[in-house]
Structure 1
Amino acid sequence: MFEPPTMTLWQGRADTGESAPVWRWHQRVEAWDRQQPATPGMALVGFACDEGVRRNGGRVGARQGPAAIRRALANLAWHGETRCFDAGDIICSDRGLESAQDELAAHLSGLLHRRLVPVVLGGGHEIAWGSFQGLAGAVAAGAEVAPTIGVINFDAHFDLRNPAPGASSGTPFRQIAHWCERQGCDFHYLVLGINPSANTQALFQFAEANQVRWRTDIDCRAGADVAVYRELEQFVAPLDYLYVTVCLDVFSACYAPGVSAPAAVGIEPAWVIAAVRALKNLCREHAVGWLMADIAELNPCFDSDDRTAKLAARLVHEIVCDVSV
Structure 2
Amino acid sequence: MSKFDFNQLWTGRVDQGESPELSMRLHQWIKPLSDADSTGLAVLGFCSDEGVRRNQGRVGAALAPNQIRQVLANLPWSSQYPVYEAGNLVSTYQDLESAQLQLASQVTQLLSQGHFPLVWGGGHEVAYGSWRGLADYLAINNPIPQIGIINFDAHFDLRTPIKGANSGTPFYQIAQTCQEQGWPFRYCCLGVSEMANTQALFQRAKALNVSYRLDKQMSLLDLPEIKEQLQQFMAQCEHLYLTIDLDVLPASVAPGVSAPAARGVNLEVLEPLIELIRTSQKLRLADLAEYNPNYDQDSQTARVAARLFYSITGGSHE
SS of the residue 2:298 aligns to: helix
Taking the aligned partners of 2:205 and 2:222, their CA distance within structure 1 comes to 22
Question: Does the 8 Å CA contact 1:10/1:71 hold for their aligned counterparts?
Answer: yes
Q: Which residue of 1 aligns with 2:90?
A: 91
The amino acid that maps onto 2:149 is V
Instruction: Tell me the CA shift for residue 185 of structure 1.
Output: 2.0
1:128-147 map, 5 Å: 128-143=127-142, 145-147=143-145
Taking the aligned partners of 1:73 and 1:132, their CA distance within structure 2 comes to 24
Post-superposition CA distance 1:23-67 (Å, at most 9, x none): 10111111111xx67731100000001100000000000000001
Question: Does the 8 Å CA contact 1:7/1:31 hold for their aligned counterparts?
Answer: no
Instruction: Tell me the CA shift for residue 270 of structure 1.
Output: 2.2
1:220-235 map, 5 Å: 220-235=218-233
Taking the aligned partners of 1:236 and 1:53, their CA distance within structure 2 comes to 30
Identity across matched positions, percent: 44
Q: Which residue of 2 aligns with 1:21?
A: 22
Change (3 A) 1:5 1:316: farther
Q: For structure 1, which runs of at least 5 residues remain unmatched after alignment?
A: none
SS of the residue 1:165 aligns to: coil
Question: Does the 8 Å CA contact 1:4/1:87 hold for their aligned counterparts?
Answer: no
Question: Does the 8 Å CA contact 1:44/1:85 hold for their aligned counterparts?
Answer: yes
Q: Which residue of 2 aligns with 1:251?
A: 249
Instruction: Tell me the CA shift for residue 218 of structure 1.
Output: 1.1
Q: Which residue of 2 aligns with 1:68?
A: 67
Question: Does the 8 Å CA contact 1:81/1:321 hold for their aligned counterparts?
Answer: no
1:143-154 map, 5 Å: 143=142, 145-154=143-152
Question: Does the 8 Å CA contact 1:109/1:134 hold for their aligned counterparts?
Answer: yes
Taking the aligned partners of 1:202 and 1:156, their CA distance within structure 2 comes to 15
Q: Which residue of 1 aligns with 2:304?
A: 311
The amino acid that maps onto 1:188 is R
Question: Does the 8 Å CA contact 2:79/2:317 hold for their aligned counterparts?
Answer: no
Post-superposition CA distance 1:89-130 (Å, at most 9, x none): 000113210111111111111010000010000100000010
Instruction: Tell me the CA shift for residue 322 of structure 1.
Output: 4.4
Q: Which residue of 1 aligns with 2:6?
A: 6
Q: For structure 2, which runs of at least 5 residues remain unmatched after alignment?
A: none
Instruction: Tell me the CA shift for residue 280 of structure 1.
Output: 1.8
Q: Which residue of 2 aligns with 1:299?
A: 292
Q: Which residue of 1 aligns with 2:236?
A: 238
1:27-106 map, 5 Å: 27-33=28-34, 39-106=38-105
Change (3 A) 1:37 1:315: closer
The amino acid that maps onto 2:135 is A
SS of the residue 2:195 aligns to: helix
Instruction: Tell me the CA shift for residue 2 of structure 1.
Output: 4.2
The amino acid that maps onto 1:55 is R
Which of 187, 191, 197 is the matching residue for 1:199?
197
Question: Does the 8 Å CA contact 2:23/2:76 hold for their aligned counterparts?
Answer: yes
Which of 146, 153, 156 is the matching residue for 2:154?
156
Instruction: Tell me the CA shift for residue 155 of structure 1.
Output: 0.2
Taking the aligned partners of 1:323 and 1:230, their CA distance within structure 2 comes to 28
Taking the aligned partners of 2:5 and 2:84, their CA distance within structure 1 comes to 9
Instruction: Tell me the CA shift for residue 12 of structure 1.
Output: 1.2
Change (3 A) 1:215 1:96: same
Change (3 A) 1:182 1:44: same
SS of the residue 1:150 aligns to: strand
11-20 or 309-318: which moved more? 11-20
SS of the residue 1:272 aligns to: helix
Post-superposition CA distance 1:185-230 (Å, at most 9, x none): 2210000100011100000000000100101111111011111000
TM-score normalised by structure 2 residue count: 0.96
Q: Which residue of 2 aligns with 1:189?
A: 187
The amino acid that maps onto 1:30 is K
SS of the residue 1:109 aligns to: helix
Question: Does the 8 Å CA contact 2:50/2:93 hold for their aligned counterparts?
Answer: no
TM-score normalised by structure 1 residue count: 0.94
Change (3 A) 1:28 1:75: same
SS of the residue 1:53 aligns to: helix
The amino acid that maps onto 1:28 is W
SS of the residue 1:90 aligns to: strand
Instruction: Tell me the CA shift for residue 79 of structure 1.
Output: 4.0
Instruction: Tell me the CA shift for residue 294 of structure 1.
Output: 0.4
The amino acid that maps onto 2:284 is L
Taking the aligned partners of 2:78 and 2:210, their CA distance within structure 1 comes to 35
